[in-house]
Amino acid sequence: MKFCVESTELNEALAVVTKALSPNVETPILKGIYLSTFQNELFLKCSDSSIQIETIIPAMVEEEGSAVLPGRLTADLMRKTRGDKVNFETIDNSSMRVEAGKSKSMLQYFAADTYPQMDEVRSDVSFNIKQGMFRSMIKQTVFCCAGDDEGKAILRGVLMEFTEEGLLNLVALDGFRLAKRTEKVSVNGERRNAVVPARTMQDIANILSDTDDEITVTLSTTHITVNMGTTKIKARLLKGEYINYRNILSKKSTSRVIVNRTELLESLEIASLFSKDSQNNLLKLDFENDLLTITARSETGSINETAQINLTGTPIEIAFNARYLLDIVKAVDDEAIALSFNTSVTPCVAEPVQGSGFYYMVLPVRLMRS
């Protein structure tokens, strides 16, 4: 095996595929980077058996072959390279010489034929979507997934739900809040809902760009594949039925508030500086007479922040965990946001002022009355 690649292109490829590396895998070879050359291309992939990320870059190939190099060491070494090109050459059955600029290294490698292969995905349903749109949908929902040590395992993933109206819903909830993002897509094949692990969704979002370039997403009963052309992500789905989230959606409200998102975010961020020292990270919000007053108190001080609002309905005083509320407001891109309330102990709903592109629900914290 002997080939040469541009160092910039190699580092970009390594940054993508090594997102699938995990220090917790028991199989030593899965801590490596699989390399294979064919004609004028270098194929790279990494996997932890639950997710596999692969990509292809141009290469000048003198001798075709394949090998599995130590993952983190190779990626770190390539980031330090000072030459424009990197040359690789196998010396024997276990050693590969790497030359870049004035640097010459020798890396031990595994035989590539022992690298585990992830099953091919049989396409039950697929759809095309713009990279930027899918990235936005993921980032605006995945933060609401339950953590690895929280709640039911199925809640550690994002539900991909297809409706008869041709809509794709991404849904996440963790017991304290719920997020739903909706976009129209053209679906090919049998509609099949799926639950994708949160980590997989985060990796997908981190690899996607904010462009209008289209990608193809394919789902089977067990896997999801995201095809971006030269880069492909394949991952296992979570098993089990997702919670019937529609049963917990808020169905009525007595108060509706429209507020500038940027002004609300700035006020929440300032007030949360004081809530961090409190036991429940608590922010109290008082909506009355077209003015929102945000109060936070702790042992180190207190603050009152205000923001202009448009209130329809009954004034209300309600409290939230600052982080839960801030995460939602940060995720929204709209200039203004609509907040709906029923009582001080029932969930708050955040939606667009017009349309139905997103839906957030967050549980309040019960206020202690003196």
Convert the chain into a string of H (helix), E (strand) and C (coil).
CEEEEEHHHHHHHHHHHHHHCCCCCCCHHHHEEEEEEECCEEEEEEECCCEEEEEEEECEEEECEEEEEEHHHHHHHHHCCCCCEEEEEECCCCEEEEEECCEEEEEECECHHHCCCCCCCCCCEEEEEEHHHHHHHHHCCHHHCCCCCCCCHHHHEEEEEECCCCEEEEEEECCCEEEEEEEECCEEECCCCEEEEHHHHHHHHHHCCCCCCEEEEEECCCEEEEECCCEEEEEECCCCCCCCHHHHCCCCCCEEEEEEHHHHHHHHHHHHHHHCCCCCCEEEEEEECCEEEEEEEECCEEEEEEEEEEEEECCEEEEEEHHHHHHHHHHCCCCEEEEEECCCCCCEEEECCCCCCEEEEECCECCCCC
Residue 277 pLDDT class (50, 70, 90 cuts): low
158 forms beta bridges with: 196
The phi, psi pair for 302, rounded to 5°, reads -150, 165
Give CA–CA dist 340/61, Å, rounded: 61
Range 72-92 average pLDDT: 93
CA nearest neighbour of 182 among 146, 129, 229: 129
CATH number of 2-114: 3.10.150.10
pLDDT of residue 250: 84
CA nearest neighbour of 240 among 194, 176, 172: 194
Give CA–CA dist 43/12, Å, rounded: 13
The phi, psi pair for 125, rounded to 5°, reads -150, 140
Give CA–CA dist 31/22, Å, rounded: 7
Residue 132 pLDDT class (50, 70, 90 cuts): very high
Range 127-153 average pLDDT: 92
Give CA–CA dist 54/52, Å, rounded: 7
Distances (CA, A) of 247 to 160, 182, 346: 17, 18, 14
Range 109-113 average pLDDT: 94
Which of 3.60.21.10, 3.10.150.10, 1.10.760.10, 3.90.950.10 is the CATH number of 251-362? 3.10.150.10
Give CA–CA dist 100/231, Å, rounded: 25
Percent of the chain past pLDDT 70, that is, above it, reads 98
Cβ of 299: how many Cβ atoms within 10 Å?
A: 9
Range 82-103 average pLDDT: 93
61 forms beta bridges with: 3
Is the pLDDT reported for residue 312 higher than 70? Answer: yes
The residue ranges of every structural domain in the chain are 2-114, 125-247, 251-362
Q: Do domains 125-247 and 251-362 have the same CATH topology?
A: yes
Residue 211 CA, chain-centre distance (Å), reads 17
pLDDT of residue 189: 87
* Range from 102-106, 183-187, 314-318, 366-370 carrying the lowest mean pLDDT: 366-370
Give CA–CA dist 32/75, Å, rounded: 10
Which of 3.40.50.2000, 3.40.50.2300, 3.30.1120.10, 3.10.150.10 is the CATH number of 125-247? 3.10.150.10
